Every structure is written in C-alpha cells, then in structure tokens.
Amino acid sequence: MDGSRRVEIGAWGGPEVVRMVRDAGPPQPGAGQLRVRVEASTVNATDAVIRKGLYPLLRDRPPLTLGYDLVGVVDRVGPGVAGGAVGTRVAALVQVGGNADHALVPAGSAVPVPTSAPAGEAAALVLGWFTALQVLDLAGVGAGHRLLVHGGSGAVGTALLQLARLRGAEVVATASAAKLAHVRAQGAVALDRRDPGLARRLRQLGGFDAVVDPLGPGSARRSFGLLRPRGTLVTLGTLLAAGRIPRRTPAAFLRFGTAFGMLKAGLAIGERLPGERRARFYGVVDSVRADPARQARDLTHLFDLLAAGAIAPVVTELPLDGARRAHGLLDAGQVRGQLVLVT
C-alpha cells in the first residue's frame, strides 16, 4: 500500500513548525475505530492554539498530527465494528489527527455525510458552522433580535452571520478594515474593529439581544454592557488564546489560565443575575460530551441547509501539503471564512 501523508508539528511554535510527514502506510484501526480516507479537513483558530501549546484540553505533546475535524470515506474498521461501515462517508471531530490522508475515528463519534455535499463545504460545517449553530441556540437568537458578532470574518464568524440572518435576526459585526466587504457580503452591518469611535457607535445602536465575543476578558466585560435587558453574552472557549501568546512558557500559560479562570468565574456570576442580562461560556468539547446525540442532529441539520442552498460556506481550499501556508495565513489574519485542506 502507498505511503500516507499527515501534517505534523515537532515542537510548539509558529507556522514554521508545521511539516509534512509520509508514513510507510496508513494507520491500522484498533477496537471500536474506523479508518477514514480523508477528503478534506480544516485549519481553524483552535488548530493555531494547539500548535502553540495553549490548548488546555489536549494532553498530547509534539510530535503530533494536526487537524481538529475531517470529512472522508471509511475504508477499514477495527475489531468490534460492523463491516457495513466501510464505504460510508462520514464527518468527525477528532481534536488532532484530521490533517492527513487517513485518520482514525471512534466509531460512535462519526456522523454520516451526504454524498452530494462538496468535500470542502462539508468540512467547513463540522467545527465552524456546528459551533456557530450551537452558539446561536445558547444565546436564544431568533427573528427580530439584534446580534453583535466580534470577529465576523473568520470561520465561526461567517457562519454566525449567515445562520443568524436565516433566523431573521439583524446582525452587526466587527472586523478589520480589509474584511469589512466580506462581512457586508454576509448581510451584516460592518464596523471597523480598530475605529476609535467603535464603542460610541455600538452604544448608539441602542443595545443588543445577544453578543458573541471571542476576544478575551476585557472585551467580554465591555460586550456585557451592550446587552439589552434579558440579553445574552456568549464567549467562545479556546479562541480566547488564538494569536495572542506566541509560544508555550510557564509564565504565559499561567497568565492565560488566570485570565481564562477569571472570565469563567465572572460569567458564572452574571448567569445568576435574576431576570436580567446573562453571560454564557461555550466550548465545543463540553457540548459534545454533554450531548453526543445532539452533535449528529445539528450536523445533519447543517447538511440539510447546505443541500437546500440556504447556506453558502465561504471556503478557501489548499492542498494538504499547503498546511504550513494555511497556518501562516491564519496567524497573519488574512483568512475570510474557512481554510480547508483537501487530499
């Protein structure tokens, strides 16, 4: 059997630590595992956090294979898995290992993918759009609501804008000046995040029913003040660290951990304010662990929306061996929508 490629890091760091490795053959599935011939996988902000050694939920250390998610076809199964799974097209959240020609996936975590879905667009749904859908549910965003999204041009941000408008919400989003046209193309009011008058302009809009803010504790406190009565602020997991700490050091990790803990504690206090504004914290790992069946339902819903033409993921596709370039684009803030590696 021909060699199998995978995207590996040998140390924590910047895009320069990303390398392509070719093994003698694909990995062999163990008990309860599927081996998936990967069609597409993504490069997300969370992958950058992992690459820098700042992902608090990952115990693995370099060398490790990157790739938080994947879409592909099952080509072999391990002991205890029904042979009928071979040939099935699936999606999975794997945290690491997705950026490869072949990946191992627990059989119970694989979600069927329609054969008609383009691989790149399907891969975009697995983490970014799935996160956006669950965040909107957590915030209770619906018709007639006004939503503010900080960072509206990235993978999750783009998905939030489209899904919120599909629900009939009015959407305002911040982004860098170079990405404002992208935000407008998603149907949102676009505001320059570096505009000195941004805080005043946001206050003039008269308040928001929901705010999604991945920018850290200071920004979250300001966002909380923009909420209408009974409004909801949602902050997003490890995206808080993306691009902010260049490498893993004890001092840097301690500072991040302290800020992260203080934010979660502050949000917990906010949740206890009776009948008024509330703050919620979203982490995709916690969500999937709490309700695995919902992952399949939500992804199936997104695949249905894609098939109906109701959503249009914005995807930039690169070959698998373009992974280092993809991480460079991500760190440089040059990404609009979702970066996808295709095999």
Contact 147, 210 (CB under 8 A): yes
The arithmetic mean of pLDDT across residues 1-17, rounded, is 91
**If you average pLDDT over every residue of the chain, what do you get?**
90
Contact 257, 53 (CB under 8 A): no
pLDDT per residue over 262-296, tens digit each? Answer: 455 555 555 545 458 999 999 998 899 999 899 99
4-124+292-342 architecture in CATH? Alpha-Beta Complex (3.90)
pLDDT per residue over 244-267, tens digit each? Answer: 444 444 454 444 444 445 455 555
Contact 287, 239 (CB under 8 A): no
Least confident interval from 3-12, 42-51, 56-65, 155-164 = 56-65
- Write out the residue limits of the CATH 3.40.50.720 domain(s) in the chain: 127-287
pLDDT at 243: 41
Query: What is d(CA 263, CA 241) in angstroms, rounded to the nearest whole number?
Result: 13
Of the pLDDT bands very low, low, confident and very high (cuts 50, 70, 90), residue 19 is very high
Alpha carbon separation from 135 to 67, 229, 235, 298 (Å, rounded):
22, 19, 9, 12
Burial class for 89, CB neighbours closer than 10 Å (0-12, 13-18, 19+): buried
pLDDT per residue over 220-229, tens digit each? Answer: 889 999 999 9
Amino acid at 265: A
**Where does 127-287 sit in CATH, by number?**
3.40.50.720
N-to-C CA span, the chain: 17
In this prediction, what percent of the chain has a pLDDT beyond 90?
Answer: 79
pLDDT at 215: 87
Query: What is d(CA 297, CA 299) in angstroms, rounded to the nearest whole number?
Result: 6
- Write out the residue limits of the CATH 3.90.180.10 domain(s) in the chain: 4-124+292-342
Interhelix angle 155-166/130-139, nearest 10 degrees:
50
pLDDT per residue over 63-116, tens digit each? Answer: 999 999 999 999 999 999 987 899 999 999 999 999 999 999 999 999 999 999
Among 48, 131, 99, 88, residue whose Cα is nearest residue 329: 48
pLDDT per residue over 109-145, tens digit each? Answer: 999 999 999 999 999 999 999 999 999 999 999 999 9
Whether the per-residue pLDDT at 59 is higher than 90: the answer is no
Query: What is d(CA 90, CA 65) in angstroms, rounded to the nearest whole number?
Result: 20
